[in-house]
Structure 1
């Protein structure tokens, strides 16, 4: 699958599944009468268009196109954490397969149109419920994901090589401030996935989306 959208500051982002990246690269070379390569930046010969490739989570060591193509042949094991005020989903993915997962929903009261003291009371209640949801989400992330953090596994087993997050950035940030999760927080991939309310199907889709190679095309 190839997905495209405009990029802030110019150009556009293209997200390409590992299965299609070789064909996409061949197409780029063909459309530009070849290309020069400098690390993960391709520059078209015909007009100077550039394509900057960003490796998927777990392949941060890929410094050039050949290393990237070699790395995607054996998909790395990654942790996935999705969180919104109403739910959390955590799992470990080998390629596109979730080997462990947990999804839980929370109740957080919606906003009210009431004014005065009623509005303040509802706001306090909502804040308390949101805080409790964040605490429960943190416990779930620790229970499900920490056993797969680097250092927690037998040396012969593969720990996760990256943590992919999605959903509400502020809630994710709050969850990852917990000291228990510091081994995973250090592996956090900078790209935040867009996510609907976390469900098992949404978590499965996130594991697939996280594998895509992101490409910034200019112009």
Structure 2
């Protein structure tokens, strides 16, 4: 069985001790950006770290958006907001097509708004890495803006399983960005 878990970096040592206790000891190898643990019972945990001083966050869903900068574990700059995007309708024919176009136009408006915020809060040289979260399609559309070309090549972590972005969600995403992401393989 394979599971993915996130462990805050400051808790990793204690988590490894618990892993060793649960799996008959542990053999470990820690390299920059990577953690490998093998328990005495054959259980493996492979982890990746995301160690950057300044992380940019771009979170977008149809119900909300958030852009921020996390420096050393502190959210130093952020902007959150909501935009209305109509939900799907069961009406058929011309009405369905009209509502679909309207929904598409409203989603495009959200992407434009988030791109503007990203230009303001994440100018070139401001961040070392990027976290994208929320709706994959919308978040990737934000990065197609030519003014954000400097963000496309940064090391990236994704958090697609987020609720509508609010300040609390942005803070949690910043915490999760710095966590060690471990893949556990139980034999």
Q: Give the number of aligned pairs.
A: 182
Please provide the CA RMSD for this pair.
Answer: 1.9
Pairs within 5 Å for 1:39-50: 39=31, 40-44=35-39, 46-50=40-44
Q: Provide structure 1 residue ranges, at least 5 long, that are not aligned to the other structure.
A: 1-9, 59-75, 151-158
On the 8 A contact 1:42/1:50 being kept in 2, the answer is yes
Q: Provide structure 2 residue ranges, at least 5 long, that are not aligned to the other structure.
A: none
Which protein has the bigger strand share? 2
On the 8 A contact 1:167/1:193 being kept in 2, the answer is yes
| Distance apart, 1:86 and its partner CA | 2.6
- 1:37 matched to 2:29? The reply is yes
Distance 1:36 1:121, change over 3 A: closer
Residues in 1 aligned to 2:67 and 2:25: alpha-carbon distance in whole angstroms: 45
Q: Give the corresponding residue for 2:49.
A: 55
| Distance apart, 1:172 and its partner CA | 0.6
Q: TM-score of the superposition, structure 1-length normalised? A: 0.76
Residues in 1 aligned to 2:11 and 2:28: alpha-carbon distance in whole angstroms: 20
- 1:131 matched to 2:125? The reply is no
Q: Which of the numbers 178, 183, 186 marks the counterpart of 1:216?
A: 183
Distance 1:21 1:36, change over 3 A: closer
Q: Which contiguous aligned blocks of 4+ residues in structure 1 show a shift greater than 4 angstroms?
A: none
- 1:88 matched to 2:65? The reply is yes
Q: Give the corresponding residue for 2:142.
A: 175
- 1:25 matched to 2:8? The reply is no
